[in-house]
């Protein structure tokens, strides 16, 4: 038995719908600018840009229904609703046509972003870590398994703040669909069970403040609700 100098942190995990079992989280890969309208919204060119990735720490995950703290060092906290993909079987150099064999399930998530910090980092050509990987920055609703729902290729994706719709699109608008995202990532790192992908957000991102409630969902995958304290 390993003798640690202090107790290891608890395993971060995501709920699985219909069961008390939970999905242990290893890493969270996020895809940037994966909807054309959002890429343009953020000043990108979706016709020329290959997929790119950034990371959130596993312990950024919180369950739907949580009241999260408004994070420090920002005055411009943004919501980004996303399709989440949970990897159940690892691999390297995965071909796109085999990529879905590695998926355990799907869910609804929010990639919370300190937009002012991100804009500053971009202007200085610095990493995005501080704007994306802060505490409680990855709320994720219970996962639905492939055995239960198959592989969704279309469906409305939306988020509202205090009942006002902010983002409203369809996951069939992904520039790089799920098989391509998995395949691209597996060329650079070995994927392992427990890895999550947040696959990008549609247009309409915007600020959320203290006392507000975000409610979002993806057709066929359920909804997520998060309050800001």
* CA-closest candidate to residue 108, choices 201, 186, 41, 27: 201
Q: Give the pair of three-digit tokens for residue 138.
A: 């990855």
As averages over each run of 10 residues, the pLDDT of the chain (229 residues) reads 92 98 98 78 68 95 98 98 98 98 98 97 95 98 97 98 97 95 97 98 96 98 98
> What pLDDT shows up at residue 164?
98
Report d(CA 147, CA 101) in Å as an integer: 11
> What pLDDT shows up at residue 70?
98
Report d(CA 206, CA 81) in Å as an integer: 11
Report d(CA 81, CA 83) in Å as an integer: 7
> What pLDDT shows up at residue 47?
67
DSSP for 60-75 reads GEEETT-EEPPPSS-S
> What pLDDT shows up at residue 1?
78
**Structural contact between residues 191 and 102, judged by C-beta atoms closer than 8 angstroms:** yes
**Structural contact between residues 33 and 200, judged by C-beta atoms closer than 8 angstroms:** yes
Going from the N-terminus, what domains does the chain have, and what CATH number goes with each? 13-228 (3.90.850.10)
């Amino acid at each position: 038995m390993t003798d640690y100098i202090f107790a290891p942190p608890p395993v971060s995990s995501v709920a699985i719908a219909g069961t008390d079992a939970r999905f242990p989280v290893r890493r969270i890969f996020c895809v940037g600018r994966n909807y054309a309208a959002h890429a343009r919204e953020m000043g990108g060119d979706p016709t020329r840009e290959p997929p790119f990735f950034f990371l959130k720490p596993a312990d950024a995950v919180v369950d739907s229904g949580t009241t999260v703290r408004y994070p420090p060092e920002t005055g411009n906290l943004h919501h980004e609703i996303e399709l989440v993909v949970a990897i159940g079987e690892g691999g390297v150099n995965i071909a796109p046509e085999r990529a879905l064999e590695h998926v355990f399930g799907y869910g609804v998530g929010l990639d919370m972003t300190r937009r002012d910090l991100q804009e500053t980092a971009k202007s200085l050509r610095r990493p995005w870590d501080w704007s994306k990987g802060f505490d409680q920055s990855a709320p994720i609703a219970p996962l639905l398994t492939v055995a239960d729902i198959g592989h969704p290729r279309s469906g409305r994706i939306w988020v509202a703040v205090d009942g006002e719709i902010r983002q409203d699109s369809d996951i069939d608008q992904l520039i790089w669909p799920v098989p391509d995202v998995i395949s691209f990532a597996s060329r650079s790192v070995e994927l392992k069970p427990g890895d999550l992908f947040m696959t990008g957000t549609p247009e309409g991102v915007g600020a959320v403040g203290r006392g507000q409630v975000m409610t979002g969902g993806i057709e066929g995958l359920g909804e997520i609700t998060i309050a800001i304290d």
